[in-house]
């Protein structure tokens, strides 16, 4: 049985592998889309939660006018450290913060934006209420979440392959957390509970996840996400066992998509909730 806290643990070598492998694989295709939606709202001050290693932060820094203040936060300081190392083309305030208890005053931002982080919040409605609290009247919460796992083909193949390798206790992180908050009605209910009166706009957007070889997505998922914590927990932390799990997933991806280059479908919901 996996500890719930392990789903939010992005430490050790995960931040670097996340940035190097996972960001171009699945996050970059949606980062510019989310940044364009934020820029279209014409904000003066933007808060990003669960910023990770900064893929959306960099897109926002490119697209938002220079006077717009951008504050990027994440629960995990190692992720922010990696984001700051990569850098942005203009100043950004990096700050460790818990989206469940934001250290900012009421009505202090025009937009709160979050890319693929909401799924990790233990109480979604509470996190949405915190976002609403720091939003000014007429402001907007803009975020995206993954659709169900079968619509993200590499993640689905990896989950199935690992179930074969660990049949007694299959690692379910990808299905449980990143792809575990896909119900549009549930999202709308949680936003209403948080005090967002207007019905949210929810767009479902498909994209493609591409890599030069089948091994790249296997490394991205098995070593660059908290799925690694589950694999290591089942193998006593053995590097050989982690390498074996990665190889098994690479072989499964190659069997379905070819040895490389590989191209898999991904799909997400983009949500805009106005105060």
Domain boundary assignment for the chain: 4-274
Kind and range of the H or E run holding 204: strand 201-211
The per-type count for the chain, helices as H runs and strands as E runs, is: 11, 7
d(CA 248, CA 253): 9
pLDDT band, very low/low/confident/very high, at 17 (cuts 50, 70, 90)? confident
Mean pLDDT on 147-153: 98
The pTM assigned to this predicted structure is: 0.92
CATH code given to domain 4-274:
3.40.50.150
pLDDT band, very low/low/confident/very high, at 6 (cuts 50, 70, 90)? low
pLDDT band, very low/low/confident/very high, at 237 (cuts 50, 70, 90)? confident
Q: 71-94: string of b/e by CB count within 10 Å (b at 16+)?
A: bbbbbbebbbebbeeeebeeebeb
Alpha-carbon torsion (50, 52, 55, 57), positive or negative: positive
d(CA 141, CA 4): 26
Judge whether residue 138 has pLDDT over 90.
Answer: yes
Chain length of the chain: 275
pLDDT computed for residue 5 by the predictor: 53
């Amino acid at each position: 049985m996996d500890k719930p806290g392990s789903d939010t643990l992005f430490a050790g070598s995960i931040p670097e592998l996340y940035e190097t492998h996972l960001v171009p694989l699945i996050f970059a295709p949606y980062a510019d889309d989310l940044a364009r939606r934020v820029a279209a709202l014409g904000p003066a001050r933007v808060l990003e939660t669960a910023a990770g290693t900064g893929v959306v932060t960099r897109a926002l820094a490119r697209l938002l006018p220079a006077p717009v203040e951008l504050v990027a936060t994440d629960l995990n300081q190692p992720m922010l450290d990696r984001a700051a190392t990569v850098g942005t083309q203009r100043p950004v305030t990096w700050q460790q913060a818990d989206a469940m208890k934001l250290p900012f005053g009421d009505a202090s931002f025009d937009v709160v934006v979050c890319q693929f982080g909401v799924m990790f919040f233990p109480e979604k409605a509470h996190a949405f209420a915190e976002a609403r609290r720091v939003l000014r009247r007429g402001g907007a919460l803009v975020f995206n979440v993954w659709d169900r796992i079968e619509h993200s083909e590499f993640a689905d193949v990896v989950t199935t392959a690992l179930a074969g390798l660990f049949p007694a206790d299959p690692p379910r992180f990808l299905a449980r957390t990143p792809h575990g908050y896909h119900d549009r009605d549930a999202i709308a209910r949680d936003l209403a509970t948080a005090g967002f009166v207007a019905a949210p706009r929810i767009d479902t957007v498909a994209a493609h996840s591409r890599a030069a070889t089948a091994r790249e997505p296997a490394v991205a998922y098995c070593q660059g996400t908290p799925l690694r914590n589950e694999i290591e927990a089942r193998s006593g932390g053995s590097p050989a066992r982690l390498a074996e799990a990665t190889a098994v997933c690479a072989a499964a991806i190659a069997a379905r998509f070819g040895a490389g280059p590989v191209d898999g479908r991904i799909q997400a919901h983009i949500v805009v909730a106005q105060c």
